[in-house]
């Protein structure tokens, strides 16, 4: 498997956005419009489309939910409340930094990697990981951000307001609606599926280009230490936690490997979308996505090598 062939195109689109803005080819304001389009149109289409069509028994693979979901959720709260000032001077900054450290790019990195290694058997794990992010991590992140005052950053939200904001989030309600379709086996007309798929395909180029357009090189200098910490947590500490838990619980090596690969993927585009939506650390998160995507060219193969050493038969060797 050629890891460069998977990761480099993702990083290249980010770089294209950066170059296009720095050279004046497009205005820097384009990033805001692309993020809005991705957040309110592409993401709901993709979330509902994936979940509604997936078999319910596959969506309820509780072992994987526990390993990938609980590990990521635990890391999110530990980083938010025990990360200290290294992750930011206030709760909002620490929350956004914690989200950037746990939200994995399961759709655009983990999925092709798992498919390349395990074939069709690796696809369900990537889909479940994407659902975990949509149905668990994003709602948790929205709750934490709403607790810091919501989009306006003012007075702390009431529990009722937080619940409403979570349910209204374009990354949450489509996943819940999709679960209902999957649970009751409601068919989605082919024309609707094609329509949603077409809209959902816009997420990758729009979000990645917007990330590049949002990167401020000065941020890498001023926020360098925080970006470094978040990147180490994302690419090294979190997958190590998932691997350790999987081995300690005696879970299936294949399941553990899939969870490790998913958690070791670089920071997801949706972390930047949330940062923009809540007006917190937009440039730092964009820089973090760029940094983790570039570094994953080295760290992901290292994790695959380690998994191969621990379970020689896992990759057919």
The pTM for the full model equals 0.77
pLDDT tens digit sequence for 261-286: 999 999 988 888 888 878 877 888 88
Query: CA-to-CA distance for 165 and 172, rounded, in angstroms?
Result: 10
DSSP 8-state secondary structure symbol assigned to residue 268:
P
For 3-310, the fitting CATH number among 3.10.580.10, 1.20.1530.20, 3.90.1580.10, 3.40.50.1820 is 1.20.1530.20
Average pLDDT over every residue of 102-112: 83
| Residue showing tokens 């290292």 | 302
Q: Residues 281, 251: contact at Cβ < 8 Å?
A: no
User: For all residues of the chain together, what is the average pLDDT?
Assistant: 83
Who contacts 277 (Cβ-Cβ below 8 Å, separation ≥6)?
35, 39, 151
pLDDT tens digit sequence for 146-184: 887 666 555 455 667 667 766 777 767 887 898 889 889
Query: CA-to-CA distance for 198 and 173, rounded, in angstroms?
Result: 19
CA-to-CA separations, 227 to 60, 86, 157, 223, 290, in angstroms, rounded: 34, 10, 28, 6, 10
């Amino acid at each position: 498997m050629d890891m460069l062939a998977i990761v480099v195109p993702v990083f290249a689109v980010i770089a294209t956005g950066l170059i296009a803005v720095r050279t004046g080819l497009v205005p820097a304001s384009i990033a805001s419009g692309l993020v809005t389009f991705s957040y309110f149109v592409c993401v709901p289409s993709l979330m509902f489309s994936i979940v509604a069509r997936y078999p319910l028994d596959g969506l309820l693979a509780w072992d994987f939910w526990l390993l990938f979901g609980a590990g990521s959720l635990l890391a999110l709260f530990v980083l938010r409340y025990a990360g200290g000032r290294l992750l930011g001077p206030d709760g909002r900054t620490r929350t956004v930094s914690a989200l950037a450290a746990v939200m994995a790019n399961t759709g655009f990195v983990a999925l092709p990697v798992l498919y390349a290694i395990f074939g069709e058997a690796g696809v369900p794990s990537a889909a479940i990981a994407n659902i975990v992010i949509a149905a668990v991590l994003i709602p948790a992140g929205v709750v934490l951000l709403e607790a810091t005052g919501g989009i306006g950053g003012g007075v702390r939200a009431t529990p009722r307001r937080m619940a409403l904001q979570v349910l209204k989030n374009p990354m949450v309600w489509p996943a819940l609606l999709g679960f209902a379709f999957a649970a009751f086996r409601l068919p989605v007309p082919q024309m609707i599926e094609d329509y949603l798929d077409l809209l959902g395909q816009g997420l990758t180029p729009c979000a990645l280009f917007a990330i590049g357009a949002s990167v401020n090189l000065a941020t890498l200098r001023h926020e360098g230490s925080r970006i470094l910490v978040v990147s180490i947590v994302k690419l090294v500490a979190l997958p190590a936690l998932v691997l350790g838990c999987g081995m300690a619980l005696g879970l299936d090596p294949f399941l553990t490997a899939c969870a490790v690969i998913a958690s070791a993927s670089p920071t997801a585009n949706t972390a930047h979308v949330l940062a923009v939506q809540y007006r917190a650390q937009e440039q730092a998160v964009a820089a973090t996505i760029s940094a983790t995507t570039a570094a994953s060219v080295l760290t992901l193969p290292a994790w695959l090598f380690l998994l191969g050493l621990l379970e020689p038969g896992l990759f057919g060797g």
